[in-house]
């Protein structure tokens, strides 16, 4: 699994559905550089089970992300038409109607591959026929990208393991705190706690008080 932390986030140009039903061509990350932080998260499939719980969880905290100048963007290997259809279905029918942040269609699987969250790969068999070693969908990858377009945090879960949106917000707070104050964030830090000065005196003082 590639570690992208500290590296420029791979950009892309893809079809997307925004605002719960508008098709957009050539959706990119570059549009946010210098303007917004980005939480880019991958999910395996439309019309499934764990995925809508995550999509709604991000939607329920969307105002909190927006307060922090963060753009939430979701990606799966489904088509933009599949995204649109799922977005039109009510929650009690298994749909995700009410989700308003962008859903990107990684139909050629290059975005998932560039972020190294694709579950498998292609290979040539003994007859030189192209095969796949498993179903090619995305793991539950999540990437926090700063204003300069650099990945500062990443998380990759296996398919049945849903993510914590509150933890994602905590990481956004931690990143913005370190940028503003020049201090580190110790274990279990949250926004109502003090930071850590990265010196011998700083760590001694922090450990003594905590």
Residues labelled as active-site residues:
51
Angle, vertex CA 157, rays to CA 152 and CA 160, nearest 5: 155
Task: Say how far apart CA 173 and CA 156 lie, in whole Å.
Answer: 20
Confidence check: pLDDT of 1 > 80: no
Residue 112 phi/psi, 5-degree rounding, is -60, -40
Which pLDDT score, from 0 to 100, does residue 66 have?
A: 98
Residue 170, classed as helix, strand or coil, is helix
The domains of the chain, with CATH numbers, are: 14-163 (3.40.30.10), 165-210 (no CATH)
What tokens appear for 200 in the block? Answer: 């011998």
What tokens appear for 9 in the block? Answer: 């986030």
Q: What is the pLDDT of residues 76-135, one digit of tens each?
A: 999 999 999 999 999 999 999 999 999 999 999 999 999 999 999 999 999 999 999 999
What tokens appear for 89 in the block? Answer: 């279905």
In terms of pTM, does the model score above 0.75?
Answer: yes
93: DSSP letter: G
């Amino acid at each position: 699994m590639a570690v992208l932390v500290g590296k420029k986030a791979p950009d892309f140009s893809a079809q997307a559905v925004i605002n719960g039903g508008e098709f957009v061509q050539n959706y990119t990350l570059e549009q946010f550089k210098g303007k917004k932080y980005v939480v880019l998260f991958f999910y395996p499939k439309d019309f499934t089970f764990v995925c809508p719980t995550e999509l709604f969880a991000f939607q329920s905290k969307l105002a909190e992300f927006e307060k922090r100048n963060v753009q939430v963007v979701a990606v799966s290997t489904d088509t933009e038409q599949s995204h649109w259809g799922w977005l039109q279905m009510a929650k009690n029918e298994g749909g995700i109607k009410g989700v308003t942040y962008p859903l990107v269609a990684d139909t050629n699987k290059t975005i998932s591959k560039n972020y190294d969250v694709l579950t498998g790969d292609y290979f040539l068999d003994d007859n030189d026929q192209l095969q796949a070693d498993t179903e090619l969908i995305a793991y539950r990858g999540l990437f926090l990208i700063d204003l300069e377009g650099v990945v500062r945090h990443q998380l990759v879960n296996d398919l049945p393991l849903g993510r914590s949106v509150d933890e994602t917000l905590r990481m956004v707070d931690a990143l913005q705190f370190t940028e503003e104050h020049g201090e580190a964030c110790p274990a279990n830090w949250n926004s109502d706690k003090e930071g850590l000065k990265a010196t011998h005196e700083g760590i001694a003082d922090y450990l003594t008080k905590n």
